[in-house]
Structure 1
């Protein structure tokens, strides 16, 4: 895609970087990224996989390599409380689209409380931010997404569903769809079969095999949820006691 205009065309290892035996290179998905690189399609790309498979590590590293704050926010945010991110972002090279916008936003579920405080302590001179701390966890997430995901650019999300109800998750699907239709690019790590069901999105499943393209219907995540909702007792009988608790 030599003339692609979306913000990030390709992610690959920087010159001289080779996979090593140190974390996070030991994660199969990270090793594959460093060895083979990854072409990012326009529109929305979901990374789906079990905890520890590397999806959040990949999203974080790509977001930081793009110029976004590792603790969330736009390209102008400089929130830093306690550095926990890996060094992977320094080992990546991003190939940008021709004439693409530089705007972007990183929504990271585990650091949003600190980001709200950062916004209060660094008020904008040209806009009035909502009072996120006065909202419920889910309301603040959805308001932030609807308020900040408006410019053409590159949007990274790490497990946004952690604060969202079913209906709010559907609202996020609508926002992501509008971003894609307007020419923005989205990279989202998720455990949510609701969010990952966005039509037309690229789905990459990460695991012991590395990174592989798949469909929503073939995701292990989707198959597990369908099976559980059809008959929860098939799963619960193996993990809860059969006898009622003593009074």
Structure 2
């Protein structure tokens, strides 16, 4: 059989619904965020959904809630990780419902750029303690993630740990990647999509969000909406800067 692609009825998460009747106060965080206060049901693309927007609009908060509601650890990793270094997540996951598809993934991972160091440390500690049989780090390429550069360790997860037939929730995966590595990430993402994988990705990268078989959800001070790639501020700003850096620098540095 050739490569398979998920159909709508087979996607792992079809949508997320806010249980609005449970929310006592919409003026309290995180419900005061326009993207959350205006949320009823957010539909996900069967293959790749991008969550974009400025800092503070709630991208990571929403992504984190979906990941926790699915069963992932708040600080990242697979559903088997239970470590906590600093409980800083909101309780939004207690107020949402995930509408799931008819299929269950065989693999899954929640990658958070801001807590990736904690994940790498936990892997080393568990392997040092022993008693788990095969070392966990073997699933990540065999080398300690702390002995790789930040970008290399990120890419080792994408390349080695993600095995297909999976649900992958990524929070700013481009954080440690060069532009060339971000393009390599697109290649790996496409390979995994063809292996029945679904991605939900919060990103600022116009390279990453260019993946064609996808949907882009933009979070703004007015709420959330679907947007075309070439209408995103990320694309427009980077295009303008690349086409005329001198003009943009002059504008930025005017006194």
Is the Cα contact below 8 Å between 1:72 and 1:79 reproduced in 2? no
Paired with 2:186 and 2:206, the residues of 1 have a C-alpha distance of 11
Q: What is the alpha-carbon distance in structure 1 between the residues aligned to residue 230 and residue 70 of structure 2? A: 31
Q: Secondary structure at the match of 1:62?
A: helix
1:232 match: 245
CA RMSD of aligned residues (A): 1.9
8 Å CA contact 2:164–2:196 kept in 1: the answer is no
Runs of 4+ more than 3 Å apart: 238-242
Task: Spell out, residue by residue over 1:103-124, the C-alpha distance to the aligned partner (whole angstroms, 9 max, x if none).
Answer: 3211100111111010011125
Q: 1:151, 1:231 → 2: CA distance?
A: 41
Whether the 8 Å CA contact 2:69–2:98 is kept in 1: the answer is yes
Match of 2:161 in 1: 148
Match of 2:28 in 1: 22
SS at match of 1:235: helix
Are positions 1:10 and 2:11 aligned together?
A: no
The answer for the alignment partner of 1:115 in structure 2 is 119
How far off its partner does 1:125 sit? Answer: 2.3
Structure 2: tracts of 5 or more residues without a match: 1-7
Aligned residues, how many?
Answer: 239
Distance 2:37 2:107 in 1: 28
Whether the aligned pair in 1 keeps the contact of 2:60 and 2:202 (CA below 8 Å) is yes
Matches within 5 A, 1:137-176: 137-176=150-189
Aligned pairs (5 A) from 1:22-41: 22-33=28-39, 36-41=40-45
**1:238 Cα deviation (Å)?**
4.2
Pairing 1:126–2:142 present? no
Aligned-partner Cα distance in 2 for 1:27–1:15: 14
2 CA distance for matches of 1:42 and 1:183?
A: 10
Whether the aligned pair in 2 keeps the contact of 1:75 and 1:103 (CA below 8 Å) is no
What are the Cα deviations for residues 55-90 of structure 1, in whole angstroms up to 9, with x where unaligned? 111111111111111111001111210011111011
Kept in 2, the 8 Å contact 1:48–1:190? The answer is: yes
Distance 1:15 1:190, change over 3 A: closer
Structure 1 residues 80 and 216, CA, compared in 2 at 3 Å: closer, same or farther?
A: same
Is 1:73 matched up with 2:81?
no
Q: TM-score, normalised to structure 2's length?
A: 0.87
* In 2, Cα distance between equivalents of 1:67 and 1:235: 45
* Deviation by residue 1:133-169 (Cα, 9 ceiling, x = unmatched): 1111101110111111114121110111110001110
Alignment partners' CA distance in 2, 1:79 and 1:235: 45
Distance 1:125 1:241 in 2: 61
Whether 2:108 is the aligned partner of 1:95: answer: no
> 1:172-210: CA deviations, max 9, x gaps?
111211222211110000000000001111111111221
More helix per residue: 2
C-alpha distance in 2 between matches for 1:118 and 1:91: 29
